[in-house]
Amino acid sequence: MVLWRMKGGNTMRSLADRRGEHTAETCYSGTSMSMDTEVIRRQFPFLTARGSPCAYLDSAATAQKPQSVIDAMRQQEEMHTANVHRGMYPLAEEATAIYEAARQSVQSFLGAQAPQEIIFTKNCTEAVNLVAKSWGKANLRKGDAVVLSPLEHHSAIVPWMQLAEHSEITLAWVNMDASCAYTVESLRTTLDTVQAKLVCITGQSNVVGVRPPLKESIEVAHNAGALVLVDAAQLCVHHPVNVRELGCDFLAFSGHKLYGPTGIGVLYGRRELLEGMSPFLTGGSMIREVTRKGFSSAELPQKFEAGTPPITQAVGLAAAIKWLGQYPWGEIEAHERTLIETTFAGLQSIPRLRILGSDDPGAISGCMSFVVEGVHPHDLTAILGDQGFCLRGGHHCAQPLHEHLGVPASTRISFGMYNTIAEVQAFLPALEKAIHLLSKS
C-alpha cells in the first residue's frame, strides 16, 4: 500500500491503490528485448529531426530522449496537470498517484527498501548538497574528515569544501596514480590517517570512465566508521545499481543522463538516516503544521521536497527507466564496450594524442578523454562540431582530476545506446583532419 501525507497532514490511501492504475509496475516493468542499435536509433527523434547528420558523442553531459519519454511528459501536461499532495478532487488525486508511482519506479530501479527512501531533487548536484547541508551540518564536528578522490565531479567536492570553510572539518584525498585507479588499499591508507565520518565516491568517472570498486570500498569505509555517499550520475545509465547490495548510505543521480528530462535528480538515503535529518529547504509541502511559534516537518519523503516538485520531470524519469528496462544490461554493456574499444584503438594510432587515465580499454566505461599536444580542446571541438560531431572540450567539472593528470583541459567523447561503430569510424579521420588543420594554424 502506498501512503502519502497531504499538505494539511492527513494521511490517505493512494488513488493507484484504489483503482489499480499508475503503479510502479506500469512505470518500470517491460518485456526484455534484444538490443538492435538501428531500432533504438529510430526511437530518438533528435537524431533525424534537425535534418542534417549529427553524431552525438556527448551523452556524459546529457543524453538524448527517446520518443516514449517525450510522449509521457506531453501526456502528463495535456491530461494530468494538477498540483500534487494538495487537492481532493479527482484530477489532483490522479496527479499525485502518478507522481508517487514515479517514485516507486525509481525505488524499484535502485533496489531501495521503501519509496520513502527516494527523494526527488532538481538534479544530482542538489542531491549531494542536501546531504552536505542537512546531514553534514548536523553530524560533522571539529576534527572529522570527509574523504574524496580526484575522480569526483565538482558537485561532489564543492559542497564539502563550503562546509569546511564554516566549520573545522577536514577534507582527505585518496591517492591515485596516472591510470586513475581507485584502489581499496589507497582508500584504507587514507582512512587510517584521519577521523573519517563520510566517504564520497563516484560510481564512474565522468572524465576517464574508470569505476572504483564500490562494494569493497563501502565495506572498508563502514569498517572505519564512515558513511558512504555514491555519486552515481554516470553509473546508473551504464551499469545496474542495487543500493541494498552495495550497502551504501546515500546515492545520488540525475534524470537527464539516464535518457530522461533535465530538472530532476534523485537522492536515495537509508530511511533511518533520512528520518534523523532536518529539512534542506523549507516552505510549503514539507510541513506537518505551522503556527506562530514554529513548525513541524512532514514525514518522509515530503519533508525534503519543499514547494511544488518537478512533477512532469518525475513522469519523464519513470518513462526513461521503463524504456531502459526493456534491454538486458549485458547487451547494453557489450555494445558500449565495443564502442570504447574501437575508439581507444583509433585514438592510440594518432600522433601527439594522449588518452588520459587507464591504458586498458577494459577498465573504461561510457566515456574517455584525451589531449593533443599543441591543440586546445575548445578549438578541436569547435571544428568537429561544425562537421556534425558533438563532443565536449574543457575540464568537465573535474578540475582536481585534470590537475592530477597534469593538464588544464581535455577533449571527451562519450557514448549512449544510440551510438554506432559507423559514427566512431567517421569520427576518427575527422579528428585527425582537425588536428592537422589546427597544427598548421
d(CA 215, CA 184): 10
Which helix (H) or strand (E) segment holds residue 411: the answer is strand 410-414
Are the CB atoms for 196 and 218 separated by under 8 Å? no
- The three cell numbers of residue 441 are 594554424
SS3 labels along 329-395? HHHHHHHHHHHHHHHHHHHHCCCCEEECCCCCHHHCCCEEEEEECCECHHHHHHHHHHCCEECEEEC
Judged by phi (left if over 0) then psi (alpha if -120 to 50, else beta), residue 9 lies in: left
List the strands of the sheet with 227-231, edge to edge. Answer: 118-121, 265-269, 250-254, 227-231, 195-202, 144-148, 170-173
- Report residue 359 as a C-alpha cell: 591504458
Listed in sequence order, the residues at least 6 apart from 236 whose beta carbon sits closer than 8 Å to its beta carbon are: 109, 203, 253, 257, 258
Instruction: Indicate the length of the chain as a whole number.
Output: 441
Q: Which of 27, 367, 390, 397 is catalytic?
A: 397
Residues 6+ positions from 376 with CB-CB distance below 8 Å: 393, 409
396: left (phi over 0), alpha (psi -120 to 50) or beta: left
Q: What are the phi and psi torsion angles at 338 (to 5°)? A: -65, -40
Q: What is the DSSP string of 180-217?
A: ----HHHHHHHHHHSEEEEEEEESS-SSS-----HHHH
How far apart (Å, rounded) are the C-alpha atoms in residues 92 and 106? 22
Distance of alpha carbon 91 from alpha carbon 98, whole angstroms: 11
Cβ atoms of 366 and 204 within 8 Å: the answer is yes
Helix, strand or coil for residue 414?
Answer: strand
Contact 69, 63 (CB under 8 A): no
Pairing of strands 410-414, 265-269: unpaired
CA distances from 341 to 333, 347, 357, 365 (A): 12, 10, 14, 10
Q: Is 397 noted as a catalytic residue in this protein?
A: yes
Q: Which residues are catalytic?
A: 397
